[in-house]
Amino acid sequence: MEGPRSVKKEELQDLTNLINYVFRTSSNKEPDMHICFPIFISEQNLDNLLVFVDETTQKPVSHMGTWINDFNYFGEPMKVGYLGSVCTHPDFQGQGLASRLLDEVFNHLENNGVDILLVSGGRGLYQRAGCKRVGEVKWHNISKQDTHPKFDVAIDPPVEYLNELWLNEPMRTKRGLANFKTLVEAAALARCVNAKSKVYLAKTGDTPLAYIQGLHTKDGSIMIYEWAGDRSVLIELASYIANTCQNETRWPVPSWEKTLLSLLPSINASVTKTDTLSGTYKIIRFAPFIDKISSYLTELYGAKKLSGFDEENRQVLLYENERIALNPEDMLTMLLSGKLPNNLPPKMQQLFEKALPLPLPWPIGFDYI
């Protein structure tokens, strides 16, 4: 077995066939994974698609794909890695190939300056390697009610409008107009769950105010999976969408969307369940990650400098004259889920009670892989 290594250009078609076989044709579905993920499974991303190649057939038999994105975290540049299309051909499963690829993925991400990883899955393979379900999402059901929006609604508008709104989001992947167009057209997650993606844009004249991507499922429901723009307009737009919907309109709203969470009751939205974010997360480069969130905490809360470093099997946080050392899983749970340990020193306690859980890259928007 050759690998783990990046896939070669001449092997990309065989890799696409493997991914399509495992995720699609083996369960009688259309082989459309490369259409779902045209930037991720592509020649421009060869370095980030790690494989084992069978020496007899010279074909990839196990794959773990990463997609490395520049991310704007409240003005701080971050690098976010996404992991997806993980598969081993059935003839080669259970030999530890995926587990070995995952180790290599962590090295690869670290060498490429990635701060945090999102995995679109939560199986044991990832959990054993320290990727955890984190954060908090409240699923809202948007009720149908009389609305008189003070804006026009355009469906599937030119991406330029969406891009303009996206640029003003305080947390966002850097897509650029061309990639944004490709991602909207591909609508990966909608295809993967057999739904139809529609984008609703609220605008006045030529000025975009807010947009929502809704996934229309077979039973006539709409799931809101990405949004940007003015939060009070978003609330009205969600209400407008609910009125056009034959079944339920559901919106998973994460804890850091404080404005949305405070306004949702005004349109009689009810919380149907509280869950973690979808998929799993892992901090890849602890010290730089803490450095970046420290800038955000200072700017937002006037916090002093927070710093972090790895020490043997633990991660250490320093704040003023305080220090705490935790194993990486407990650190992840504290920072990304806001579960504070009992022995947290008082100044950290005071800061973390208001600042945690941290806002995070959103896992199920157009960037989903």
Ligand X SMILES: CC(C)(COP(=O)(O)OP(=O)(O)OC[C@H]1O[C@@H](n2cnc3c(N)ncnc32)[C@H](O)[C@@H]1OP(=O)(O)O)[C@@H](O)C(=O)NCCC(=O)NCCS
Instruction: Tell me which residues touch ligand X (CB under 6 A).
Output: 22, 62, 86-88, 93-99, 121, 123-125
Rounded to a whole number of angstroms, the minimum distance from the CB of residue 30 to ligand X is 17
CB nearer ligand X, residue 99 or residue 349: 99
Q: Which is nearer to ligand X, 119 or 212 (CB)?
A: 119
Q: By C-beta, is 100 or 231 nearer to ligand X?
A: 100
CA dist list (Å): 81 to 37, 45, 108, 119, 176: 15, 12, 10, 8, 17
Residue 102 or 202: which CB sits closer to ligand X?
Answer: 102
Instruction: Please list, in sequence order, all residues whose beta carbon lies within 8 angstroms of the beta carbon of residue 93, skipping any fewer than 6 positions away.
Output: none
Rounded least distance, CB 196 to ligand X, Å? 23
Cα 305–Cα 310–Cα 313 angle in degrees, nearest 5: 140
Terminal Cα distance for the chain, rounded = 27
The CB-of-129 to ligand X minimum distance in angstroms stands at: 10
| CA atoms of 235 and 176, how far apart (whole Å) | 26
Q: Could you tell me the smallest distance in angstroms from the CB atom of residue 223 to ligand X?
A: 20
Say if CB 116 and CB 282 are below 8 A apart: yes
In the complex, the smallest distance separating the C-beta of residue 347 from ligand X, rounded to whole angstroms, is 40
User: Nearer to ligand X by C-beta: 84 or 365?
Assistant: 84
Q: Tell the smallest beta-carbon distance from residue 41 to ligand X (Å).
A: 14
Cα torsion at 86, 92, 97, 98 (round to 10°)?
20
Q: Which is nearer to ligand X, 83 or 183 (CB)?
A: 83
Judge contact between 302 and 347, C-beta under 8 A: no
Q: At closest approach, how far in Å is the CB of 132 from ligand X?
A: 14
| Sign, Cα dihedral of 90, 92, 97, 99 | positive
Residue among 123 and 273 whose Cβ is closer to ligand X = 123
Bridge partners for 50 per DSSP: 6, 64
Rounded Cα gap, residues 133 and 166, in angstroms = 26
DSSP per-residue codes, 138-155 = EEEEEPP-----SSEEEE
Which tokens go with 41? 């499974």
